[in-house]
Amino acid sequence: MNLNSDLKNSARAQVILDEIASAGHISTTNDAFAKKLFSHKEILIDFLNSILQREGDNLISDLVYTDTEQHAENSYEKISRLDICCQLISGEQIDIEVQVSNDLAWIGRSLFYWSKLYAGSLVKGDSYSELKPVICINLMKFNIFKEETQKQPHTTAKICNIKDGEPITNLLELHFLELQKFKKKSLSEMSRAEKWLAYFSGKLSKREESAMLHDNILGKAINIRNEFMKDPDNYAAYLNREMEILDYKSMMKQERSEGREEGREEGREEGREEGRAEGRVEGRVEENNIKNLMINKKFTVEEALSALGIPEENWDSIKSRIK
């Protein structure tokens, strides 16, 4: 049993190592790597200034790393775990989430993470006027906005007046970085933010990377990436995370195949193929979102059900299918 497990893990690890060899470097959107990269304060500050377009008096000069686990105040509340969380000198809080697997509920999750940070910033006795902005940056290896309506890789969302489109507050700010949409251009034509997108999307040539090594910050980011796997702990963390992603993709592919077959069979038997197919798709999407949270964020099934807003009266039937 252990031998079979070791052989399976070895085979999956080899697939990942072959991908690294083919690309010439590791994936910069791997959770373990991203957390290591952003643990270097000067790199995180440069990334934030670039993405948030901070300059002049608004330039970020320092920050403090904060707890990534948002504790529940009672047994009915959900615990959430963030990827990278920090607070600026201004009191603004920033959450950075790195997501590889497609998640239909991602906007809702981003709002949920925002709400936890926002609500947690006010303690008993404080005035609402003391509330500070919370900014969530989502670095994603998939698209959530249709390309025909949103072609640019960087989308910013705020609470705005519907009539004139003007923001009514700066307390909520969401950034979605869709790496698949990043269109490569020459290095000299890239903005600082675009260079970071090129770095995380893996679209830099060897020549461009060599040129970027002369940049104190981006050069350091490239070196950290190239040296990351030499540390045994980093090596293990990287492979484990990539194997989880491989397993998740394999599971989704199998479930889609099974779902299509079940839908066809039930349609033939009942003569209601369209209705059956729709019901199957909805059920599969719901189950996939739950499993995604359990795999990528280590949620329990109850935490995932709660996060997705599924009524408690439906939990038992869903849990029986998940298991």
Q: Which of 4-8, 90-94, 112-116, 186-190 has the weakest average pLDDT?
A: 4-8
> Which three-class secondary structure state does DSSP give residue 299?
coil
For residue 298, count other CB atoms closer than 10 A to its CB. 10
Residue 201 has pLDDT above 90, yes or no: yes
pLDDT class of 302 with cuts at 50, 70, 90: confident
Q: What is the pLDDT of residue 77?
A: 44
Residue 210 has pLDDT above 90, yes or no: yes
Q: pTM here?
A: 0.74
Q: What is the pLDDT of residue 262?
A: 65
Query: Cα–Cα distance between 27 and 219 in angstroms, integer?
Result: 17
158 has which bridge partners? 173
Phi and psi at 142, nearest 5°, equal -145, 170
- Comparing 220 with 258, which gets the higher pLDDT? 220
Nearest to 208 by CA among 200, 217, 219: 219
- Comparing 281 with 14, which gets the higher pLDDT? 14
Q: What is the pLDDT of residue 112?
A: 92
Q: What is the pLDDT of residue 74?
A: 44
- 183-to-144, 145, 208 alpha-carbon distances in Å: 17, 16, 15
Query: Cα–Cα distance between 53 and 175 in angstroms, integer?
Result: 12
For the chain, give the percent of residues with pLDDT over 90: 51
For residue 186, count other CB atoms closer than 10 A to its CB. 7
Mean pLDDT value across the chain:
83
For residue 55, count other CB atoms closer than 10 A to its CB. 9
Q: What is the pLDDT of residue 258?
A: 63
| Start-end of H helices in 121-231 | 192-201, 206-212, 216-227
Structural contact between residues 172 and 116, judged by C-beta atoms closer than 8 angstroms: no
Query: Cα–Cα distance between 56 and 292 in angstroms, integer?
Result: 41
- 231-to-22, 174, 224, 225, 237 alpha-carbon distances in Å: 21, 34, 11, 11, 10
